[in-house]
Amino acid sequence: MNNIAFNVALPLLTAFLLPIISSGSKSATRFVGPFVLLAMLWFALAYFNVLQHPVAIALGGFLPPLGISFHLDNLSLLMAALIPLMMLLLWPYNNREGFREESLLLLLAGAASGLALSGDLFNIYVFYELLSVASFGLAAANRTAAAFAATFRYVIISGLGTVLALTGIALIYTQTGTLNLAHIGLLASQLNNPVGLSAFALIVIGIGVKAEIFPVNGWVPEVYSTASPRISALLAGLISKLAVLVIIRLLVVAYQGSQALTLLLVLGMLGIIWGELSAWHSKDLKRMFSFSSIGQLGMVLVAFSIPGDAGMAAGIAMMLHHLVVKPGMFLLTENWNGPIKKLKGAATSSPLAAFLFMLFALSMIGVPPLPGFWAKLLLVTGLVEANAPLYIIALVVLLTATVIEAHYLMSTALKIFSRGKKKHFKKLLQTPFNLTIATIFGAVLLAALFTLTPLGNKLNQIATESSDRSLYIKTTLSLKLPPQVKQQVSKVQ
């Protein structure tokens, strides 16, 4: 089990060595990355298959809570497997210039894996920072003036975010005297007070910068419309989910009170409203998709704010769905980035892309029997089951937002499918590379459609497991506790 550490160590190692390799041979630079990612994928999947029940590993052999521990359960391993997968799909195979983007991507992969696996609050913070810095670099990689400006604003806002998050961590440490999530969970009773809750609020808003939580997502439209679509796809699809994952871990382990949930619910609702409305108003695909991804993450947040397994299942379903759909859509924006009214005849110039767009759009609106519908169904039933006025409002918001979503997506789709002038067709042609990747995403969506039943069962299993607080704590602290901590823990309780 210790070998899962490779998922963090290997990409970092490769990234460190990449400059040297590149001075050696350019071709090696291009291909070492994918190999490492494959290795990561292999590790993750291997454990994903053998894993019976959650496992914790102590890094450096120092038992938690003293040392840092990785927490391996279905959810974290799933994420750990998805990270290299997405990276492989969105890898810049056709990048001719230098090694920097590759190494940044590898660092991103390492950081993401660490974030997904880590069970220690401060360690999460470190990996989160690594993630951020790498994504800054990637966001600026386009080297246009606008990209620099957007990235700068991104850096500032997320820098502030980390300050808040760090403050929150400090508060938690001052309150409990420990950093290990499981240990914090053990002492959760001390956090169920204004101090602890405000620490949670600070962390949510801090980490929320990456999770595109309203209102700290001002960077989203700017960065996504200046960065290259691959990067946007990565940020919107993968990175935001990891940030959400952190919040969820914290929520499940330490903050099961209703107040924390209310905060998430309200933020999520505002996110939905703002995102969808702005998307409705936007006049080009890139910004439309960035706004709509804000809305989608709002939905994810709302889903997670439903107490119990139902919320967890719905949230994970929404997360995975968005993870598949949104990158596919962003990939299509590379050559369709003009104003929407110029998209006439796009379908005739590249029909496959148009079909994919339609597929993604329908699934996003939640048209049965596409997977998006089932995710939305889980969300709706969950909200109704939660049966509190605020949740009913959330339901109304959700449904209204869906209508707005349908309007702007369909008006775009009808533009795409309407007849256009011959002379524009060449401009609207999709690059085969992007098209292939997008097709893969579409294929995944359809495959999910045909394996709904097993997926649903697996989903429920994951949800029940990862929403089980005591299980998490037991898993980590079942490693032999050092005596002092034992008696301190007992003293605390």
Partner 1 sequence: MRNISALVFASGLAFLLLVITWQFILGGAPMLIGEAILQQAAEELGAANLVTSVVLGYRGIDTLGEIAILFTASTATSLVLSSIAEKTSAKSKPGLRDDGTILASSASLFFPLLMTIGLYIILHGHLTPGGGFQGGVILAAAFFLPLLAVPGRGVNHSGLALVEGFAGASFIVIGIIALFQGKAFLQPLFGHGEMGSLLSAGSLPLLYIAVGLKVGAELSGLLANLAEPSGNGDETLSATESASTEQTSMQAEKTKS
Partner 2 sequence: MTTNLIHWLLYGGAMGLIVIGIVGVVTLTNIFRIILALVIAEAGANLLLVIAGYRFDAIAPILTGQALSAMPTTQIMVDPVPQAMVLTSIVIGVGVQALALALVLKVYKNYQTLDLREIHHRMLADIDHSSGVISLLSEEQPKGERPLPEPETKNVLNSGGEK
Partner 3 sequence: MTTLDTLLLFSLLTVLVSGLGVRLKMIGWVSAIMFAAQFVALLFMGGLGYGGSAIESSVSLTILNQPLSWRFDSLSWFFALITIGSALASSIFAAGIWAKKFHKHDGKPGLLQFAIALNVFTMLLLLASGDLLSLFVGWELVSWASLLLMVMAGGSSSQWGLRYIVYATAGAMAVLAGIGLIYHLTGSFSYADLANTAATFSSTNIVILSLLFIAGFGVKMGLLPFHLWQAGAYAEAPGPGSAFLGAISSRMGLYAMLVVVIQLIGLARLIAIEIPFSFLSLRDMLMWVAAFTIIFPTFTALRQNDARHLLAWHGIGQGGYMMMGILVLNPLGSAGGLLHVFNYASNQAALFLAISAVVYRTHTADLNRLGGLVTRMPLTFVVLLVGIIGLAGIPPMNGFVSKWLIYRSLIVEGMPLLFVATVIGTLGTILSVYKLIHNTFLGQLRLEHEHIREVPWSMLAPMLVLASVVFMTGFMPGLVLDWVVSAQAALGIPQLAHTLGGVESATGNLDMIWITLVLFGGFGVGALLFYSGNKAKRVHQLDNYAGGHFLTADDRYHYSNNFYAGLMHHIGSWYRGTFKWLESSIISIVSLLSGSTQRLFHSFHPALFLLIAATLSLYFFVG
Token pair of 176, please? 């409990």
Pick the binder of partner 1 from 67, 257, 308, 456 (CB under 8 A). 67
In Å, the largest CA–CA distance within the chain is 78
Member of 48, 173, 355, 433 binding partner 1 (CB under 8 A): 173
Q: Which of 95, 337, 431, 460 contacts partner 2 by CB under 8 A?
A: 337
CA–CA separation, 466 vs 319, rounded Å? Answer: 14
Peptide bond into 65 cis (omega under 30): yes
User: Of the two residues 174 and 258, which places its CB atom closer to partner 1 in the complex?
Assistant: 174
Taking CB under 8 A as the rule, which mask of x and - marks residues 143-162 in contact with partner 2? -xxx-xxxxxx-xx--xx-x
- Round to whole Å and give the CA distance between 71 and 129: 20
User: Would you tell me how many other CB atoms lie within 10 Å of the CB of residue 9?
Assistant: 14
Q: How many beta carbons lie within 10 A of that of residue 25, not counting itself?
A: 11
Q: Which of residues 235-264 bind partner 3 (CB under 8 A)?
A: 259, 262-263
| Residue 68 in contact with partner 1, rule: CB under 8 A | yes
Nearer to partner 1 (CB atom), residue 193 or residue 418: 193
The nearer residue to partner 2, 293 or 305, going by C-beta atoms, is: 293
Provide the mask over 180-209, with x wherever binding to partner 3 is found by CB under 8 A and - wherever it is not: --------------x--xx-xxx-xx---x
Contact between 492 and partner 1 per CB under 8 A: yes
Is residue 123 part of the contact set for partner 1 (CB under 8 A)?
yes
- Based on the shown chain and the rule CB under 8 A, indicate whether residue 274 belongs to the binding site for partner 3: yes
17 contact, one of partner 1, partner 3, partner 2, none, CB 5-8 Å limit per kind? partner 1
Closer to partner 1 by CB, 29 or 402: give it.
29
Counting contacts by CB under 8 A, is residue 298 touching partner 1?
A: no
End-to-end, the C-alpha distance of the chain in Å comes to: 32
Q: Which residue has the tokens 């994919």?
A: 356
What number of CA atoms fall less than 13 Å from residue 27's CA on the CB side? 0
Q: Is 395 in the site for partner 3 (CB under 8 A)?
A: yes
User: What is the size of the binding site for partner 2 (CB under 8 A)?
Assistant: 43
Q: Which is nearer to partner 1, 129 or 468 (CB)?
A: 129
- The answer to whether 136 contacts partner 2 (rule: CB under 8 A) is yes
- Asked whether 449 and 371 are in contact (CB, 8 A), the reply is yes
Residues in contact with 123: Cβ distance below 8 Å, sequence separation at least 6, in sequence order: 68, 114, 179
Q: Is 95 among the residues that bind partner 1 (CB under 8 A)?
A: no
216-235: contacts with partner 2 (CB under 8 A): 222, 225-226
> Which listed residue (6, 48, 173, 355) binds partner 2 by CB under 8 A?
173
Quote the tokens at residue 161.
Answer: 């975010």
Q: Which of 280, 304, 336, 441 binds partner 3 (CB under 8 A)?
A: 280
Give me the residues that bind partner 2 (CB under 8 A), please: 122, 125-126, 129, 132-133, 136-137, 140, 144-146, 148-153, 155-156, 159-160, 162-163, 166-167, 169-171, 173-174, 179, 222, 225-226, 283-284, 286-287, 337-339, 342
